[in-house]
Amino acid sequence: MFPNLKTLLVAYGLMLFPSAHAGDEASPAPPTPPTVDFSSLPDSASVRPIQIDNKAHPVHARLFLEDNQLVAGATQRIGLHLDQDEGWHTYWVAPGDVGQPTEIQWTLPEGFSVDPHTYTIPQRFQTKTEVSFGYNDQVLHIAPITVADTVAPGLYDLKAKANWLVCLTMCIPGEVELTLPVEVVAADTAAEKSALAPLFDHYTKQHPTPPLEVTEVGWDFAMSQAALRPDDEFKAVFRIAARDGRKLQAHDGDIPWPTFVPFVPIDWSWAPDEVKVVNGEDGSILVTIAATAYEPDPLPTDAKIGGLVQVKVDDTWVRTEIRASLPWATADSEKQAVDSPLLDLAFASNAGTEGAPAGEEGEEGEEGDAAAGASGSGTSGLLGNLFMAFIGGLILNVMPCVLPVLTLKLYSLVEQTDITPAEQRTAGTAYTAGILASFWLLAGCIVGLRSAFGIQVDWGFQFQYPPYVAALAAIVFAFGLSLFGVFEIPAFGTGTASEQTAKEGVLGYFMTGVFATLLATPCSAPFLGTAAAFAFGAPTWVLFAIFSLVALGLAFPFLVIAFVPAAYRFLPKPGAWMEAFKQLLGFSLIATTIWLVSVLLSQIGADRTVGYMAFLTVLAIGCWIFGRWGGVAASGSDQLRALAMASVVTLAGGWYFVDLAYADVEDCDTGEVATDLSWDEDIPWQPFSEKRLAALEGSPVFIDFTADWCVSCKVNEKTVLAATSVKTAMRDKGFIPLKADWTRPDPEITKWLHKYGRAGVPFYLVIPADPSADPIPLPEVITPSIVINALEKAS
């Protein structure tokens, strides 16, 4: 059995991406389900999947009927039951910021049909940056199943393939194939209720009432324009009112749950910037949705907008789902505004709340200004972030993460100063193509996980996962060995050995661009952090545009050298010095390997890191085998045989020595924090946590958001934060230094980065002693004076 494409995408992405945290409950818990006995279910209909690490999946899936038999010619009910380990959550049809709704694909005998399953009322899970909707503990997804009256009595197999996403401090995709043997009886036979029928009764009571059956309330709808065009900003208003003189309970403006929860499509349609729920002057409740339409392809023909409504009429709760048609028009059509009293009523009511509806003109407070500065808005925000993306990519060229590769590339260009102008342009174009392709692949992974599953990612995410760090360390180490002459990489597109020695080849240029990208992504250069944060929360085309500008900025110096002959002439002339310089570059790559291995050490522990270093020794032997018998002077067949032998040796070493599981870390965060600190030697860092930060209220705090894989972070720590003047200022002003280590995925740290519009590290935050004062965020590149000025301002 092979998982479907979505499951493969999530499984791959979770190896690279930081976890998505479902958050703390912020809505009432549902009634406790009745206790039932599942022992009568066959093993094929009751499965807890086994994950690739041989651990049990957090969800146990079961498939069963409400009745013991199915009756020919009748419609009955079948359910998919998801029993989740404590603390884990699966998701509603509109999961919110995090999650993926559960999907069921049926394989049924002829004459059987199943309608789409329904969702019970969800719970709300909330952090400071994310809101999601789903189910704690367990849930039953119920679907009507119909057997045609032509189906003969007998035994049949019902097969269901279910997919879900379950989250705790990370998200894990789940997939299972279930088979339920059922008995079909004749049309005149009464079916017996099963022992599991109480679950159907329990969860049916938690379903929203169909809108046509609701008599207590009615609703009206208006939209700000007659039809929606691609990339239009628009507003939709629902008015919910009680009927027959009944009293509708007023909405508490501080508690948006449980009055209205929007359906947020995750594929083509709209992404709400803001949903406001307020009390109308006539006793109704007004829901205003301000949103932006992203261009679907093709245009929808049956789109809906709406949400789950939960209101109290007199003493009775009414729960239903309301939907209105969302008409679409082509981008070149004329925008037709709608004049509706309902729109006027909604905007007048919203004007009395905190801030105007999204998209309305009005003055913003400091918080609104900060948010706008972090994310940007409209065309000016997009153009500004595109410019910052290009400048940030350009600055990446001088960041310590990329310097080893760029020095290597400069050496390659010096070595080939005698190539023709056409070959120079080919070199620059191929190098740029490698960078662009790498950034586009990265953006594609982000889009797939974000749009399909709601999994949020950040800049440098892949370095949080040992498999990526280990693979990159092996590549860098092998590259370094090649510079020492252990082996040479034959150039693509060249013939004789002399040609291969003289030319790097198109593939070589392209792969150097890929290599530069691999090492660039843990760095967050000036301007890049803001642009990246904007990109990670933007539509797909904006994400690709910003990543493309970052790539072009990174490639720009070599494009200039390749396409401006005068710039090429500034490079030094080849000479005997180059052999020694080449070996010096080899040492720089070995140093880079040591850095990457140190990152692994903090992730997988000492014992596993020793095993990985043994693998690097085997890798070196494999490289030597290829260099000894498959050098550039060897024939093509000899090179293939040498490559095969080297690959077998290397893979065998990897299988035997490499274990990249995270080392166990004891959770000792009790919230206790020391305030009587010794500043005699280094800065007395303590681990960051929200518990510790809460315990320090009233004390000034300096937080260093860092990671072992972030070279820029380490440079700042060694050259700026360790400076005597900075340490003295922290000590004299009574600051408590906390270190937020993002080397591994940490949803709490991720949340704080998002809170201040950052998509990665380094990041520094100065929190004043006065709780009413605003924290002071610092830029990615800091100086002692920048830090000291912020400390003085906060104190």
Chain-wide mean pLDDT for the chain? 79
**Domain-embedded: residue 560:** yes
Residue pLDDT, tens place only, 333-382: 777 777 777 777 766 666 544 333 333 333 333 333 333 333 333 333 56
Q: Residue 623 falls within a domain, yes or no?
A: no
Last residue of a domain, one of 190, 206, 222: 206
Q: Does residue 630 belong to any structural domain of this protein?
A: no
The per-residue pLDDT for range 113-145, each reduced to its tens digit, is: 999 999 999 988 876 557 788 998 899 999 999
368 found inside a domain = no
pLDDT at 196: 95
Judge if 454 and 352 occupy the same domain.
no
Q: Based on the domain organization, do 437 and 340 belong to the same domain?
A: no
In a shared domain, residues 339 and 251? yes
The answer to whether residues 350 and 404 belong to one domain is no
- Asked whether residue 572 is domain-assigned, the answer is yes
Cα–Cα distance for residue pair 478/742, rounded to 1 Å? 28
Per the structure, the count of domains in the chain is 4
Rounded CA gap, 62 and 42, in Å? 10
Q: Are residues 138 and 286 in the same domain?
A: no
Res. 11: pLDDT tops 60: no
Indicate whether 116 and 200 sit together in one domain. yes
Residue 176 has pLDDT above 50, yes or no: yes
* Per-residue model confidence as pLDDT tens digits over 498-515: 343 334 567 778 887 887
Domain assignment of residue 545, yes or no: yes
Q: Read off the pLDDT band of 657 (50, 70, 90).
A: very high
Q: pLDDT tens across 292-341, in order?
A: 776 666 777 777 888 899 888 887 888 898 888 778 887 777 777 777 77
224, 158: one domain: no
pLDDT given at position 376 = 36
Tokens of 375: 């994310």
Residue type, 11: A
- Tell which of 577, 595, 627 closes a domain: 577
**Which residues constitute the domain of residue 354?**
212-359
Classify each residue of 547-578 as buried b or exposed e, where b means 16 or more C-beta atoms within 10 Å of its C-beta.
bbbbbbbbbbbbbebbeeeeebeeeeeeeeee
Q: By the 8 A CB rule, do 111 and 148 touch? A: yes
**CA distance linking residue 255 with residue 244, whole number of Å:** 27
pLDDT at 608 (0 to 100): 93
Asked if residue 114 and residue 151 are part of one domain, the reply reads yes
pLDDT (0 to 100) of residue 413: 62
79: CATH:
2.60.40.10
Q: What is the CATH number of the domain that holds 698?
A: 3.40.30.10
> What count of Cα atoms within 13 Å lies in the side-chain half-sphere of residue 317?
11
Let me know whether 79 and 200 are in one domain.
yes
User: What mean pLDDT is predicted for residues 761-776?
Assistant: 88
Instruction: Write the CATH number for 219.
Output: 2.60.40
290 — pLDDT class (breaks 50, 70, 90): confident
DSSP-assigned letters across all residues of 268-288: SSEEEEEEEEEE-TTS-EEEE
In a domain, 118, yes or no: yes
Tokens in use for 363?
Answer: 């003055």
